[in-house]
Amino acid sequence: MIYIEIQSSLNGESVEAIFNVAGGWAGGNASHKDFIKNSEMVFKQSVNSTLIVASLASKYL
């Protein structure tokens, strides 16, 4: 898991900044056959990485 890898790399040291360069885009609309699948992908790309960064920031900034 990326969070554990980063935590291990930091070894308790603080950092001055943490950047989250998340993002993604999926075309279509709610009637598209892949709407749910695409929405899950966008959620994973954007929200999950933001949660990881927020947690790391609360401990290492």
Distances (CA, A) of 45 to 26, 28, 51: 11, 17, 11
Structure confidence at residue 39 (pLDDT): 92
Structure confidence at residue 1 (pLDDT): 80
Whole-number mean pLDDT of the chain?
90
Which whole number is the average pLDDT over 10-37? 90
> How far apart are the C-alpha atoms of 9 and 12, rounded to whole Å?
9
pTM of this structure: 0.70
Which whole number is the average pLDDT over 10-39? 90
Q: Please state the φ and ψ torsions of residue 34, each to the nearest 5 degrees.
A: -105, 20
Q: Is-contact 18 49, C-beta < 8 A? A: no
